[in-house]
Structures are given as structure tokens and as C-alpha cells.
Amino acid sequence: MKAWSRGRTLGIGLALIALTNAVALGGVWWNRAAAPESSLTLSERELGLPWRALRNRENSGLALNLNWRVADREASEFISGYTVNGGSPEWLDAARMQALGFTVGDAGSEAERRRYTRQLPRAAIFVLELNGPAAQRALERARENAARHAAAAAANAGNKEFAGRAKHAQDLLTQEENASSRLFVIDAGLGAHALRQQYPDRTRFMLLRGTVRPSIRDRGPGQPQATGYVARVGSGPIHVPHALRAPLESLRARGEPGGGDRFSATLFVGQRLEPLIAEVHPPASAAH
């Protein structure tokens, strides 16, 4: 009886493993089935390559980080008012949070604010736009910031503080022009179909699942506002299939000594709104 129980237990365990693998493989198949939900060509500005030292470990594989941004009014001018991979965009207001399923009360009441911010994060579908108006506003803001600080430095010649601010602002402009991601989260909802109808260009807008949590924006004394914080978009680093790794193997990441090699990749988003690398274009053919 004991031997039979052990055998049965082993059989059940193996069956569960097989079922789990089948479900996972079925999900991968469904995500890749039919035409992609969207197809965008992204550069190294949007797809972060890990440092080579992290790629030399045995069986480590290769994955790219999706770098997305949020227009956050609360951010400092010295990061151009835009935050990377998280933030509270202006459009994510109380009405939008309520539409996403959160209970929104009177933000002027301390008890209601506590009740609001203690709600658990919720799943949402985010709209990400590549090189659209949000990216152009980020660039224009960086240019205006650099021009303003350059003028202040010129008006205060010899002042190291003003000169330092001007240099910092110019460095940020250079980064915005050449290195910062142009992929911005611009909207969120609960239904992919409704969002796709609103944003029909599948080569410019992609839909990804993520999470949002409640937050309070303080507009000043007595002016708190309920808002949301984009906490996660996508499901983590995007695996590069072994057959597509060759163009990336010798490249160095931005920030790495000798890094900054340019490349681009075509990113498909499948039926389950999960991204996958479809093509990798070496530096010579990358879009600048």
C-alpha cells in the first residue's frame, strides 16, 4: 500500500509538471499565433543591452530591458520632468483611476487619502507610443532648459554655480537628443480592443500589460489630488532567441567603457500582449 501511494504521488507530480509545461507552451503558442498585435522597430535607446560581463556567464542567455518613460510633472527640471520606468503621469488622474477600478474618495480628507493609498495595485493595459508628441515635448523641454541656463550663465559670467547648472542642462539635452528612450506610456485602460480602436497604428503604439497603484499628488497646502503611479509595464526583460543573438554578442551597452554601439530590433507584441524579439538589426543598419 505504501509503495502504491508513493507511486501514485510520483505519478500525480509528473502529471502536474506536464500540465504546467503544456499550459506554458500553449500560452507561448497563442501569443505568437496569427499576426502580431503590434510591431515596432526599437533602437538601443528603448532596448537596454546588459553589460558584456553579465553576458559571459554560462547558460545566462541574453535579454533586453524595455526602457519606457512617463511624463511626470513632479520630476525635477534636471531630469527634464520625465521619469524612467515608473512615475505619475498627468493624465492618470482621479477619474482615470476610478475607471481602472480604484475607489476614489475625497482627497482633501486625511482618512480618505489613507484609504485610497492603501488599496492594492491593479492590473491594467498600457498604451506605449514610440517617438510621438510626448517624446517631442521631452526634447523641447530639454532645449528650453538648456537655453535658459545658458542665458543665466552668460548673464552671470564667472559664477561657477551658474556655469555648472548650464553644463548640466546641456548634458541633459545631449542625452535627450541621442540616448534617452523615446517610448512613452501615454494611456491606460482595461480593454485591449477599446484601446486599439483609439490608437490604431500598430507600428507606433503598442499595448502591454502592467500594474498601477494609487498615489497622492500634493499641489500645495490644502491641494492634494488623487492620482496613480505606473509601477510596472511588461513582464520583465525580453529574451533574445539564440538564433538572433549573433549581432549583439560583441556589442557593449551604453554606460559601459567603449559602449554605445547602435543597433535596432523589431519587437512583436503577441495576442496575449507579451513582447518578443522578432528581428535584430546590427549597427550598420540601425536607425539613428
Within-domain flag for 146: yes
Residue 55 pLDDT class (50, 70, 90 cuts)? low
Report the candidate in 71, 128, 119 with the shortest Cα–Cα distance to residue 216: 119
Q: Which domain holds residue 175?
A: 133-181
The average pLDDT across 107-112 equals 83
Within a domain: 167: yes
Residue 54 banded pLDDT, cuts 50, 70, 90: low
Mean pLDDT of the region 245-251? 84
Q: How far, in Å, CA of 153 to CA of 164, rounded?
A: 8
pLDDT value at position 22? 40
Instruction: Flag whether 156 is in a domain.
Output: yes
Q: What is the pLDDT of residues 26-39, one digit of tens each?
A: 444 444 555 899 99
Distance CA 276, CA 279 (A): 9
User: CB of 116 within 8 A of CB of 214?
Assistant: yes
Distance, in Å, from the CA atom of 231 to the CA atom of 119, rounded to the nearest integer, reads 14
Alpha helices in the chain (DSSP H): 2-32, 94-99, 110-117, 133-155, 160-178, 192-198, 246-249
Over its C-alpha atoms, the chain yields an Rg (Å, rounded) of 23
Question: Is 176 within the bounds of a domain?
Answer: yes
Identify whether 2 is part of a domain: no
Query: Measured between alpha carbons, how far is residue 196 from residues 214, 235, 241, 279 in Å?
Result: 25, 20, 28, 24
Residue 21 clears pLDDT 60, i.e. is over it? no
pLDDT of residue 74: 60
Give this prediction's pTM: 0.81
Q: Name the residue with higher pLDDT: 60 or 104.
A: 104
Instruction: Decide if 236 contacts 5 (C-beta within 8 A).
Output: no
Residue 165 lies in a domain: yes
How many domains would you assign to the chain?
1
CA distance 14 to 8: 10
Q: For residue range 140-192, list pLDDT tens digits in order.
A: 999 999 999 999 999 999 899 999 999 999 999 999 999 899 999 999 999 99
Looking at the domain assignment, is residue 169 inside a domain? yes
161 part of a folded domain: yes
What percentage of the chain reaches a pLDDT higher than 90? 58
Helices (H) and strands (E) in the chain, counts: 7, 12
The grid coordinates of residue 144 equal 528650453
* Contact assessment for residue 270 and residue 276, using Cβ atoms and an 8 Å cutoff: yes
